[in-house]
Amino acid sequence: MRIRLDLAYDGTSFSGWARQPGLRTVEDTLATGLGTVLRMEPPGLTVGGRTDAGVHARGSVCHLDLDEPVWAAVPGRSDRSPGEALVTRLAGVLPDDVVVRSAVAVDGDFDARFSALRRRYTYRLLDRPHLLDPLRRRDTVVVRRALDVDAMHRAGGTLLGLQDFAAYCRARAGASTIRTLLEFSWERGDDGVLVGTVVADAFCHSMVRALVGSVVPVGHGARGTGWPREVLAGGMRDPGVRVMPAHGLCLEEIAYPASPVDQVDRARESRALRTSTHPEDG
């Protein structure tokens, strides 16, 4: 059986999603918790959006495969469904910086990575340090110079569409850097915090933080609104683009087709593309 897990985590104390020897990661922590609850070896997990060290998530999704008797046995003697029971039991073994919100059986062809239509991230910036909420210091990046949010919004809009984002991706051998950027917008909230929203079909390594780093100089007035587009056209990493700190970034949502049939079709299409171009999703 294929099981979908929806989860959230505070990335502060994690070395990213993916397992790494000797390091605390979300994948290893969750798999260990599942192994404890299900009384089995920690299962393999496939995630819809891999995050770097320090990056947070409110809307992450992963899947795992279980034998049907294992799934059926999760409630024990209770009258809860296996999904409800798994969520409750995981809450008892996972640390408080990881929460599994739901667990449901899905079609065997659903794929948390390949069935995804798009990923949505937010990035929080504050250019008025005296307004920082101490309770949000772990997810808000403070800068010391004033930012023009309208200029940043206009600059982000120049990058939309199907593009080769090599200038904004960390190079990996054989990996495609072609992505479709659907939204890159900015607004200032009532609390003074600037929130950037970045939506794409997929992201390559460090892409979101580099995109944010391209519009910050625009916000400071050091670059024109067309500069991020010029960097994109150059096709190479520009030293003027700073990869912004990880803790301001949060994976808010991974969107999937509504129907199982469409999810399967999407997975088939995405897998064919990934096989031919080897991109990394995030």
8 Å CB contact between 35 and 43: yes
Q: Packing angle between helix 149-157 and helix 207-220, nearest 10 degrees?
A: 130
* pLDDT recorded at residue 277: 46
Q: Which two tokens stand for residue 249?
A: 């970034």
8 Å CB contact between 114 and 267: yes
At residue 263 the predicted structure's pLDDT band, cuts being 50, 70 and 90, is low
8 Å CB contact between 71 and 224: no
* pLDDT recorded at residue 176: 85
User: pLDDT tens digit string along 65-75?
Assistant: 999 999 999 99
Least confident of 137-151, 197-211, 253-267: 253-267
Q: Is the pLDDT confidence value at 20 over 50?
A: yes
* pLDDT recorded at residue 121: 98
Please name the residue that has the structure tokens 């060290």: 53
* Between 32 and 263, residue with greater pLDDT: 32
* pLDDT recorded at residue 172: 76
* pLDDT recorded at residue 276: 43
Please tell me the distance from the alpha carbon of residue 167 to that of residue 233, in angstroms, as a whole number.
8
Mean pLDDT of 212-219: 98
3-state per-residue secondary structure call for the chain: CEEEEEEEECHHHCCCCCCCCCCCCHHHHHHHHHHHHHCCCCCCCEECCCCCCCCEEEEEEEEEECCHHHHHCCCCCCCCCHHHHHHHHHHCCCCCCEEEEEEEEECCCCCCCCCCCEEEEEEEEECCHHHCCHHHCCCCEECCCCCCHHHHHHHHHCCCEEEECHHHCCCCCCCCCEEEEEEEEEEECCCCCEEEEEEECCCCCCHHHHHHHHHHHHHHCCCCCCHHHHHHHHCCCCCCCCCCCHHHEEEEEEECCCCHHHHHHHHHHHHHHHHHHCCCCC
Q: How far is CA 135 from the centre of its chain?
A: 22
Instruction: Tell me the pLDDT of the chain averaged across its residues.
Output: 93
Q: Is the pLDDT confidence value at 111 over 70?
A: yes
* pLDDT recorded at residue 268: 67
Share of the chain above pLDDT 70, in %: 91
Please name the residue that has the structure tokens 């600037």: 194
Q: Which two tokens stand for residue 153?
A: 């919004």
The reply to whether 127 belongs to the active site is: no
* pLDDT recorded at residue 98: 98
8 Å CB contact between 74 and 82: yes
8 Å CB contact between 53 and 10: no
* pLDDT recorded at residue 258: 83
* pLDDT recorded at residue 240: 93
* pLDDT recorded at residue 278: 44
Set 6, 28, 52, 201: catalytic member: 52
Q: Is the pLDDT confidence value at 222 over 60?
A: yes
Please tell me the distance from the alpha carbon of residue 31 to that of residue 20, in angstroms, as a whole number.
13
Q: Is the pLDDT confidence value at 122 over 60?
A: yes
Q: Which two tokens stand for residue 177?
A: 């850097």
Mean pLDDT of 52-78: 96
